[in-house]
Amino acid sequence: MKRLLIGHSAPLRGAVAVNGAKNAVLPILAAALLTDEPCEIDGVPHVTDVATMRAILDELGVRTDDIKGAIRTRPGAGGTTASYELVRMMRASVCVLGPLLAKRGTAKVSMPGGCVIGPRPIDLHLKGLRALGASIEIEHGYIVAHATRLRGAHVLLGGAFGSSVLATANVMMAAALAEGETVIEQAACEPEVSDLADCLSAMGARIAGRGTPVLTIEGVRRLRGVRYRIIPDRIEAGTLMMAAAITGGDVLVDGARAEHLGALIEQLREAGVEIEPRPGAVRVRAPRRLRATEVTALPYPGFPTDLQAQIMALMTVAEGVSVVTEKVYPERFMHVPELLRMGAQITREGSRAVVKGVPRLSGAPVVASDLRASAGLILAGLAADNSTELRGIEHLSRGYQALGAQLVALGADIREIDDPDGGRTGGEDALTLESFQEMRGDGVR
């Protein structure tokens, strides 16, 4: 396993292209289970979560091949079990549940395990599928589900923390092949959910209300194969925009869709950054020092929780006092102690962090707890004196195809170095709160 060595960065300059959206492609690949025909998905990012989803599809009898930047899926008779070994690597694996149930009438999917960004129950997934008539039991760590043919129903998918992206995806995919009409209320409105709806529609599904909290799905008997290009990754785009902002740079982020990034654009403008939306791109021009701002992570179209760690990094060096509130995952603050090690001034009270901007951070060895925390710490490293050594970068490759290389192309000083300890490998649940504290040297509390 490698580490990243991040040097203090001059203002980033130039143009950079955004890859396809990780969180769109995962459910879209799962949708290949809904058809007997091959599918071709374009713009798939080379990230380890995609490799995990391909391994799960393989387990379920769907072969996947790389063909010139796309993935072709070839359905075959296969199992109905998604094993613990794979599901523990990636919680998003749970989105094979709806398709398996709808197409094969039975599904056995490992219960996803613990997660470093806080509790992530799956009650809404189960509630939605039960409403469509599935019988579901939890047996020996597996969700065991059966249905002869699912039937359309009225389903409310709102939970204590708002809507759920993957529960909406699961129920939408199942409803596409159910008998009759399904209405999902409090559906997630994230662009990745709309992308799935568009892909399913191209496969012959009948879905109305995409992008709104009410989805109406008229079930059909069969879905056909599809050739589909997924949307650019708004979280990668947002991360690159903030890399430009924290270095006082001038960068054209090609593939950033301003219409998917409204909340971030508003926050960056408040912080003093000039944002110029262009067709299919966004140009970011930042001042020498940013201004403090107030940010609340919320379901879409609110500020994305997946950009919370990154904007907090920006606020650590902004002028004034910022408040960052997390309403999607109230415990997603594992980056805070690492930012403190770099000289940031942050006090955390429950789901809120108060960040007093300092003129400069100070490079230090830090550990990434998860995918987005890694990105936040890289941005912090760009604004820190000397060099920052980031461990735990296996998380980064779960969702960013080449963030380091993209930043280097814009002028950043980032190098991969060997990890003398051999590092750690493993899946999402491999890094628990305890193991993270242990790795950081805090001991287990």
Chain residues that interact with ligand EPU, rule: CB under 6 A: 23, 26, 91-92, 119-125, 159-161, 164-167, 188, 192, 305-306, 328-329, 371-372, 399
Q: Least distance to ligand EPU from the beta carbon of 124, Å?
A: 3
Nearest CB to ligand EPU, comparing residues 176 and 328: 328
Task: For residue 115, indicate whether it is catalytic.
Answer: yes
Query: E-assigned strands of 357-443?
Result: 361-362, 365-367, 384-385, 387-391, 414-418
Pick the catalytic residue from 39, 115, 189, 199.
115
CA distance 37 to 98: 18
Q: Are 382 and 9 in contact (CB under 8 A)?
A: yes
Residue 192 or residue 338: which is nearer to ligand EPU going by CB? Answer: 192
Contacts of 271 (CB under 8 A, 6+ apart): 245, 290, 291, 292, 293, 314, 318
Helix residue spans in 143-257 (DSSP H): 165-176, 191-202, 234-246
Between 74 and 120, name the residue whose CB sits nearer to ligand EPU.
Answer: 120
Give the three-class secondary structure for 433.
Answer: helix
Nearest CB to ligand EPU, comparing residues 45 and 404: 45
| Residues facing 154 on adjacent strands | 183
**At closest approach, how far in Å is the CB of 54 from ligand EPU?**
15
Which phi and psi angles does 435 have, rounded to 5°?
-70, -30
> Judged by CB, which is closer to ligand EPU: 23, or 387?
23
Work out how close the CB of 10 gets to ligand EPU at its nearest, in angstroms, rounded to a whole number.
29
Q: Please say whether the beta carbons of 397 and 375 come within 8 A.
A: no
- The residue (of 95 and 318) whose beta carbon lies closer to ligand EPU is 95
Nearer to ligand EPU by C-beta: 236 or 283?
Answer: 236
**Smallest gap, in angstroms, from Cβ of residue 346 to ligand EPU?**
21
Kindly provide the residue ranges of all beta strands, DSSP E only, lying in 256-386, ordered along the sequence. 274-278, 281-285, 294-297, 321-326, 345-349, 352-356, 361-362, 365-367, 384-385
Give the nearest distance from C-beta 300 to ligand EPU in angstroms: 7
CB 5 within 8 A of CB 389: yes
Closest contact distance (angstroms) between CB of 192 and ligand EPU is 6
Taking the least distance from each CB to ligand EPU, the nearer of 196 and 292 is 196
For helices 234-246 and 308-316, angle between their N-to-C axes, nearest 10 degrees = 0
Q: How far is the CB of 8 from ligand EPU (least distance, A)?
A: 27
Q: How far is the CB of 166 from ligand EPU (least distance, A)?
A: 3
- Measured between alpha carbons, how far is 426 from 435 in angstroms, rounded to an integer? 12
Question: Phi/psi at 32 (nearest 5 deg)?
Answer: -60, -20
Determine whether 372 is exposed, middle or buried from the number of CB atoms within 10 Å of its CB (0-12, 13-18, 19+).
buried
Query: What contacts 51, CB < 8 A, 6 or more positions away?
Result: none
Rounded to whole angstroms, the Cα distance separating 396 from 22 reads 12
Interatomic CA distance for residues 256 and 278, integer angstroms: 9
What separation in angstroms does the CA of 20 have from each of 55, 170, 233, 278? 19, 21, 5, 19
- State CA 42 to chain mean position distance: 18
Residues classed as catalytic = 115
